[in-house]
Amino acid sequence: MSRDVKQAYKNGTRAMDGKPGKNYWQNHGRYVISVTAMPPDRNIKGTETISYMNNSPDTLRNPAIKLFLNIHKPGAPREFGATPDYLTSGVHIDECKVNGQTVQVRSDQFVFTNVSIKLPKPLLPHDSLQFSFTWHYEISLQSGREGMIDSTTYFLAYFYPRVAVYDDYNGWDKMPFMDSHEFYSDFNDYDVTITVPKNYIVVGTGTLQHPENLLQQLFLKKYSEAFTSDQTIQIVTKQDWQAKNITAQNAVNSWRFTSTNIPDVAFGISDHFNWDGCSVVVDDATHRRAGAFAVYNDTAADYHQVAQYARHSLNWLSHHWPGVPYPYEKTTVFQGYAGMEYPMMANDETYEDTSFSRFVAEHEIAHTYMPFYMGINETRYGFMDEGWATTFEILIGREDLGKEKADEIFKQFRVDGWINNRSPGQDVPIVGPGDNMMGDALGNNEYGKPSLGYLAVKDLLGDELFKRCLHEYMNRWHGKHPIPWDFFFTFNDVAKRNLNWFWNNWYFSHNYIDLAVRSATRSGNDYSIIIENVGGMAAPVNVIANYSDGSKESFHQTPAIWQNNQQKAIVKISSKKKVESVSLDGGIFMDADTTNNTWKQKAF
């Protein structure tokens, strides 16, 4: 445990059995936001009030405010370069008030994605205050996770000033947003109104209020039908747009969305994108359905299938892995350039290969659980969300494509870049802290490597016990801010096993996967096979006995073989046939050095 984390356990905000501690707290905001976007004008104007509740035992004097879009400012620290089309002048705070009193917000050339505000009067424990902001920014020509998709299609994300997380182990989150690292957000309530010209639709996070005041009768009917239809309803098509009579014919329309206890909001607006929708039962106990929508340019051939891909994702994730009913009323996949998740939204590119479009939609929708349902600190502990989305991705992929193909894709995309890269960053401990890592070391330690760890513990515990542990972790921590130890301790607690040897081996070490078969000795029908763990990682493996009659047999070994001795395991197999050679096959647990994976009986 790092020292900040040790202190949190000592303070009783977290507990060694993996439950939130008796002193657990988190802060909360109620955001009322009003934004105006009038394409092709790139100016986005907003006002908001934030009622912020300090549930901490601490007196807060200098709250940190996140201005994520300052990443577009020239000179902003970034992990990637920026083209001229990416650059803007950033976020302009026109006014900031605290409880009605105007306060100054620094805006000089050294202010980027974090700015601290000095409160006129400290915010005492268990007290609240109201911030109000008026701001504007220019939406960037080049879009990534947000920005202009085309001259009249905008993706609005991270667009509002928000109070950074103040938590029990780290205090104010002042980690800068530099693009490759993701986010850390409190669970807030949002009431967002987006004002756009007529004949623009707005889709995004939350429940659309009074759609009957926004959509013409025919489109309203189709929008409602999507929530009860298995088949895709084409709510708005390319042909429909030509009549320019989709929405109420006021000069501008204000689209209002509300959501509660959700970590963020994002919206897409367009005057020509297709809008498809369908739905599926996500909760068998209550028969609750959730909507699956796709909003895209008609030219994107794959996107005509995307509402069904999203529907399949909601269905599968709700019923199989993690096997927790999708927690929101809908999801919308919006065509952009990101491959990025937001609560109830994804921004995905178009691809020629529709199985890849489905793969990306599944991955981004899987993020619903981690980070959003679970409140993960993605910036510091990204393996707690990307590792899981990657795990659900292979499990759903095996259903879509069959095990062989899904495993092949996983090896190619998620494992090969780690295991066959000998540079030292690859083998640093997964636990991070990720905010101090970058490049492929960050990527491999957030995606493939931790995912293999989750799949290894699934193999170790068996599906039933693993699911029970996972569900209890999700049950204890959803809507909160778990850190890695809460996860590890919950698994120990629910499995009633001390798995620390495993967690240490996978998540806190410089281990990698390299197993070697050293010998096989025979005594009657019994063989003792000695496997050396060269790389150290407690990986599962298939031990393949190749018999003298040309047949072979596979003996699966879970990571349990490494529990008592992490350097050497003796695997015992029985067979009436004569073993001529033994080989190791880790499958997706790819081995860094396969030259030592086979042992052959010497000729007598």
Interface contacts to Zn ion, rule CB under 5 A: 386, 389
Minimal distance in Å, beta carbon 338 to Zn ion?
A: 11
C-alpha distances out from residue 445 to 115, 390, 440, 453, 503, Å: 29, 12, 8, 11, 14
- How far apart are CB 335 and Zn ion at their closest, in Å? 18
Q: Which residue is nearest to Zn ion (CB)?
A: 389
Q: How far apart are the first and last CA of the chain?
A: 54
Element (H, E) at 476: helix 463-477
Please report where in the chains the tokens 């709510």 appear, as a residue.
235
Nearest-approach distance from CB 341 to Zn ion, in angstroms: 6
- Closest CB to Zn ion among residues 247, 391: 391
3-state helix, strand, coil split of the chain in percent (to 5) is 30, 30, 40
In the bound complex, what is the minimum distance in angstroms from residue 206's beta carbon to Zn ion?
22
DSSP symbols for 303-366:
GGGHHHHHHHHHHHHHHTSS-----SSEEEEEESS--EEETTEEEE---SSHHHHHHHHHHHHH
Nearest residue to 536 via CA among 511, 561, 516? 511
In whole angstroms, the minimum distance from the beta carbon of 392 to Zn ion comes to: 10
Nearer to Zn ion by C-beta: 386 or 514? 386
Q: Minimal distance in Å, beta carbon 382 to Zn ion? A: 9
Name the residue nearer to Zn ion (CB basis): 362 or 493.
Answer: 362
Q: Are the beta carbons of 580 and 481 closer than 8 angstroms? A: no
3-state secondary structure of 30: strand
The residue among 139 and 389 lying less far from Zn ion, judged by its C-beta, is: 389
Cβ proximity to Zn ion, 232 vs 391, nearer residue: 391
CA pair distance 262, 329, nearest whole angstrom: 12
Least Å from the CB of residue 278 to Zn ion: 24
CA distance 324 to 328: 12
* 529 neighbors 519 (Cβ within 8 angstroms): yes
8 vs 24: CA distance, rounded Å: 9
Q: Which residue's CB is nearer to Zn ion, number 386 or number 486?
A: 386
**Which CB, 444 or 509, lies closer to Zn ion?**
444
Output 102 or 412, the one with its CB closest to Zn ion: 412
**Look-up: residue for tokens 């549930």?**
55
Cβ 360 to Zn ion shortest distance, Å: 9
